[in-house]
Amino acid sequence: MGHTGTLDSFAEGLLVVCVGPLTRLVSHITAFDKVYEAIIAFGTETDTLDPLGTIIKTAEKPKVWDFEKALQTFTGSLMQSPPSYSAIHVNGKRASDLARSGKDFSIPQRPITVYSATIIDMFLENDLVSYAHVKFSVSKGTYVRCLARDIGYACGSVAHLIGLKRTQVGSFSLENAVGFDLLESFSISSVIKREYSDKTLPRDTEKEAVLEAEVIQKCISMTPLLARECGFNPLNPDYISDFFNGKPLTPLFFLTEIPLHGAVAVFTEKNQFAGLIEKTSKRLQYVYVIPKDIALA
């Protein structure tokens, strides 16, 4: 089994898990665009940019107009400074481990894309924004914690996240996920009431039984929509045996045109995952092939 992107410890929502031969596709799915809902608290910033950290800055909360105007500037192609408390590796070590040990280090800015940023709700006090519920549609590698931090600065305040929910990864939706009905409501008022902890929660055997049953019901195989998202190419039925027997690849093996460069996942005519190929400047070559008895089972 292999997951396709961690969630922060205080966060919740969708996590796509690949099983068996499909674990080879983890890197493809990790690269999908994602959608989040975030609850931003204004007036304080923590060292981790989330509710588990220590407050390091305070400032006056922003006016509604200043917040709305600032948010409009956080769409499109942006450069983002990742958080110190993150899983990014710096000189072979996790940034979060270096931060906890008190060591100084820097993480280069990274390009990200924010496709949309939409206000769902706001909690106001004396015409100042105390909390905002925002929906973000973003590219791979975007830290919503950092968006909250930077939005706070942009509207003349400081901010951090107190709630984060991932609702979509590519065509995968949270509503179809195992355990969706067990999630608590996600709103400004409900998130404010929560108590976050780094401690491991006790096991709930009753919930585990429900989840186990849902895994069986909701486990899905590859779909045509997901195949298109990954850039998958269907095999020509006339050449299926040649593909599984490892014969030299030619464009005739496939029903659609192969991209110029990079790895491409291959499916049979019935959308059964068959393996990965790669097109270099000179030729098509195999990356790996799923055993025929598994792929065609």
- Name the residues annotated as catalytic: 8
Segment 174-203 mean pLDDT: 87
Is pLDDT of 60 > 90?
Answer: yes
Give the integer Cα–Cα distance in Å for 74 and 63: 17
**Range scoring the smallest mean pLDDT among 94-108, 148-162, 265-279:** 94-108
Tell me the one-letter amino acid at 287: V
The strand ranges marked E within the chain are 2-3, 12-13, 17-18, 34-42, 44-46, 55-58, 76-80, 89-90, 93-94, 110-125, 128-138, 159-169, 172-173, 233-234, 262-267, 273-279, 284-289
pTM (two decimals) = 0.83
Phi, psi of 181 (to 5 degrees): -70, -15
Tell me, what's the pLDDT at 261? 64
**Range scoring the smallest mean pLDDT among 15-24, 41-50, 257-266:** 257-266
Tell me, what's the pLDDT at 156? 96
With helix as H, strand as E and coil as C, how does 237-263 read? HHHHHHHHCCCCCCHHHECCCCCCCEE
8 A C-beta contact, residue 10 and residue 195? no
Q: ∠ at Cα 261 (220, 79), nearest 5°?
A: 80
**Given pLDDT bands bounded at 50, 70 and 90, which one contains residue 199?**
low
Helix (H, G, I), strand (E, B) or coil at 137: strand
Tell me, what's the pLDDT at 260? 65
Tell me, what's the pLDDT at 128? 97
Write down the domain spans for the chain.
Answer: 2-207, 224-295
| Cβ-Cβ contacts under 8 Å for 37 (sequence gap 6 or more) | 120, 133, 134, 135, 136, 163, 164, 165, 167, 186
**Given pLDDT bands bounded at 50, 70 and 90, which one contains residue 154?**
very high
Terminal alpha carbon distance of the chain = 19
Segment 206-231 mean pLDDT: 82
Both structure tokens of 50: 């989330």
Q: Which CATH homologous superfamily contains domain 224-295?
A: PUA domain (2.30.130.10)
Tell me, what's the pLDDT at 287? 86
Among the CATH numbers 3.30.2350.10, 1.10.1370.30, 3.40.190.80, 3.40.50.2000, which is that of 2-207?
Answer: 3.30.2350.10
